[in-house]
A and B are shown apart, each in its own frame.
Chain A
C-alpha cells in the first residue's frame, strides 16, 4: 500500500527560528496536503498543493509539491509559540481512488 515517510519525527526550536519538514512517498499523488493537529482536536488543513513544482504560501507557512510528485516540503518561518502541534502531510489522488493517506507527523515544540 501507499506509505508516506515524514521527517523529522519531532523538533524542538526557539521562538523566531525557521522550521522545515518533508514527506516522501513510495507512489505518486496528484494532490499534497499539509495539516496541523492541536491536542484533543482533529487535524485542520493548512495548505493544499495541486501541481508538481507548485509553491504555495499561507502566512508564514510555505509548502512545495515536489517535481517527482512523490514528495512535499513545509516550511514555517519565524516560529511563534502557537505553532506548537503536530504537522501531518497527506497524499491524495483526487478524481482517482480518493484515498486520503497521512504521514506519521512531525511534533513541533517552540520554546519562548
Chain B
C-alpha cells in the first residue's frame, strides 16, 4: 500500500516552460488536494477535487490547472512557469477526516 505518490521529487524549470506534477493514491479516496508551501510558510490550497470529474479552485489557483479523470490520479499542470511558482508542492488525499500527504515535489523556476 503506497499511499500518496508524487513524481517527480525535484525539478528545475526555465521560465515559460510547462510541466505536470503527478499525484496518485491507492486508497480509493474521493477527496484530493494540491498545496504549495513556500519557505517558512504554511500550506496554501491550489486546487481540490471531491471526486472524479469534479475540481474546484482553492486559495491560489492562478497559473495552475488540474484534472481528475480517475479516482486515483490528480495531476497539477503548470503551463507557463514563472519564478513565483518556485515552491514545494504537496498532494494529499482523504476520506472522512484524515488527509494523507505525499512526500512533496520541490520545484525551482529559473
Q: Residues of A with Cβ closer than 8 Å to B?
A: 1, 6, 31, 33, 40-45, 48, 50, 88, 90, 92, 94, 97-105, 107
Shortest distance between the CB of B100 and any CB in chain A (Å): 8
Q: In the complex, what residues of A have CB within 8 A of residue B101's CB? A: 41-44
For B103, list chain A residues within 8 Å (CB).
Answer: 40-42
**Contact status A98-B45, CB under 8 Å:** no
Known: A43-B101, A45-B98, A99-B58. A88 touches B92 (CB 8 A): no
In residues 55-110 of chain B, which contact A (Cβ within 8 Å)? 56, 58-59, 90, 92, 94, 96-99, 101-104
Beta-carbon contact of A100 and B42 below 8 Å: no
**In the A-B complex, the 6 residue pairs with the closest CB atoms:** A42-B101, A104-B42, A102-B43, A105-B42, A48-B97, A45-B98
Please determine whether A33 and B92 come into contact, CB atoms closer than 8 angstroms. Answer: no
Could you tell me the distance between the alpha carbons of A47 and B27 in the complex, rounded to whole angstroms?
21
Beta-carbon contact of A99 and B42 below 8 Å: no
Count of interface residues, chain B, beta-carbon cutoff 8 Å: 26
- Nearest-CB distance from A26 to chain B (Å)? 13
Known pairs A33-B97, A102-B35; A43 contacts B50 (CB<8 A): no
> Which of A44, A50, A102 touches B42 (beta carbons < 8 Å)?
A102
Question: Within 8 Å of chain A (Cβ to Cβ): is B12?
Answer: no
Interchain nearest-CB distance for A100 vs B (Å): 6
Beta-carbon nearest neighbor of A4 in chain B: B42
Q: Find B48's partner among A6, A41, A100, A107 (CB 8 Å cutoff).
A: A100
CB pair B48–A99 under 8 Å, yes or no, is yes
